[in-house]
Structure 1
Amino acid sequence: MTNSHQRITRWIENDPLRVEVLTAAKTLNLKNWHIGAGFVRNLVWDKLHGVNTTQLNDIDLIYYDEDKSSAELDLYYENQLKEAMPINWSVKNQVRMHIRNNHQPYLHISDAISYWPEIETAVAVKYNENNVLEFVAPFGLEHLFSYTITQNSKNCDSDIFNARVKNKGWLSKWPKLKVIKNAT
């Protein structure tokens, strides 16, 4: 277990809301599920900047199940989670998301998130069957600690990347971050 892995694990385990989110997600018993995007990224950036201001205003739950790939099922899962926790949940089976993104079919969760626009965003976590945090990070966890927002050249063109950096206000929230374009 790397130092980065240990630090993030400790931070999540000491965050009651994140523990509650992961626990709620686990109750769905989805195949190959994780919670990603800002769930881990924002926590790390908050800690690096010595702030606790970032709200969990949306939760991105992803899973990979070739046998259950309808958008209606994703909405059903979202509604179940919203009943358990009134947060804005987004549930997406990555089996079909390649169609929306105009990619080749994704092979698994790690492959799917390896196309996310920033490499720091491409981190996901879940509780495994033993209630131990399990991470998927195709680019590793160390990027999260480098004070960077790094464009993933595997998928993201500069216009999309620049718009995301601006619209999400990352440089205002976390002013020590530096933008790195076209890196993998």
Structure 2
Amino acid sequence: MCNAEADLRRLTAILVADPARWRALQTVSALSPTTCWIGAGFVRNAVWANLHGSPSPVEAADVDVVHYSPEAAAALDTAVETSLTRQAPAYRWSVKNQALMAARNGDCPYCSLEEALRHWPETATAVAVRLDHGKLSLCAPYGLEDLFDLVLRPTPDFRATKAAPFERRLNEKQWLTLWPRLRRRDA
């Protein structure tokens, strides 16, 4: 079995063992089984908490739902967020069409969800999951190695042109204090 398959099994086990996260995945799957994914801190924090042996309540943070819909208006995000909130009000849903995020981020237009994730700040954050017929599907352009190895590394985009925002995130989120086994790697 290759590392990618083993990492996906490991990630699945972590998410299945967390009833609140699994319910969030089921809620999104019931609403939009093929277009919406949950990513960023939802996945990253679950893994880091597991590896640190500490809790990471999903209800305490945004549940970042992402999709790539180039023809959709921003109003779709609001409608999806409203629907998710009605179905599962315990979560703080945040829905973002990644096709619209390139302009906001000062990037050239993204051509897919995977490309959008390539422009997220850290490799361990650039991960999204969804349930596809009850099975976990993964979109992780940089893989899961950094996530499971507790490596905090900027993506090439942030390393090359957005170093200051990356540093701000590190200071604001205080990950190196919250997750003391994390190791920062700049390359």
TM-score by length of 1: 0.91
The count of aligned residue pairs is 180
Determine the structure 2 residue equivalent to 1:172: 177
CA distance in 1 between counterparts of 2:33 and 2:104 reads: 22
Matching of residue 123 in structure 1 with residue 127 in structure 2:
yes
1:51 is paired with a residue whose SS is: coil
Determine the structure 2 residue equivalent to 1:35: 38
Report if aligned partners of 1:114, 1:138 keep a CA contact under 8 Å in 2.
Answer: yes
Report if aligned partners of 1:147, 1:176 keep a CA contact under 8 Å in 2.
Answer: yes
Alignment of 1:25-64 (within 5 A): 25-29=28-32, 31-56=34-59, 57-64=61-68
- Deviation, structure 1 residue 27: 2.2
Q: Please tell me the residue identity of whatever aligns with 1:36.
A: G
Q: Please tell me the residue identity of whatever aligns with 1:168.
A: K
Q: Please tell me the residue identity of whatever aligns with 2:109.
A: P
- Deviation, structure 1 residue 149: 0.8
CA distance in 2 between counterparts of 1:28 and 1:163 reads: 34
Alpha-carbon distance change, 43 to 59 in structure 1, aligned in 2, over 3 angstroms: same
What are the superposed Cα offsets for residues 24-68 of structure 1, whole Å, 9 maximum, x if unpaired? 11122265221000111111111111111454421100011233x
Runs of 4+ in 1 over 6 A off after TM superposition: none
Of residues 152-161 and 119-128 in structure 1, the stretch that sits farther from structure 2 once superposed is 152-161
Matching of residue 132 in structure 1 with residue 103 in structure 2:
no
Report if aligned partners of 1:31, 1:63 keep a CA contact under 8 Å in 2.
Answer: no
CA distance in 1 between counterparts of 2:135 and 2:181 reads: 31
Matching of residue 74 in structure 1 with residue 77 in structure 2:
yes
CA distance in 1 between counterparts of 2:128 and 2:58 reads: 18
CA distance in 2 between counterparts of 1:63 and 1:43 reads: 21
What are the superposed Cα offsets for residues 66-119 of structure 1, whole Å, 9 maximum, x if unpaired? 33x211111111111111122211101112111111111111111101100001
Report if aligned partners of 2:33, 2:131 keep a CA contact under 8 Å in 1.
Answer: no
1:139 is paired with a residue whose SS is: coil
CA distance in 2 between counterparts of 1:111 and 1:127 reads: 20
Determine the structure 2 residue equivalent to 1:83: 86
Of residues 36-45 and 84-93 in structure 1, the stretch that sits farther from structure 2 once superposed is 84-93
CA distance in 2 between counterparts of 1:26 and 1:134 reads: 11
1:80 is paired with a residue whose SS is: helix
- Deviation, structure 1 residue 165: 0.9
Alpha-carbon distance change, 31 to 55 in structure 1, aligned in 2, over 3 angstroms: closer
* Aligned counterpart for 1:96 among listed residues 77, 97, 100: 100
Structure whose residues are more often helix by fraction: 2
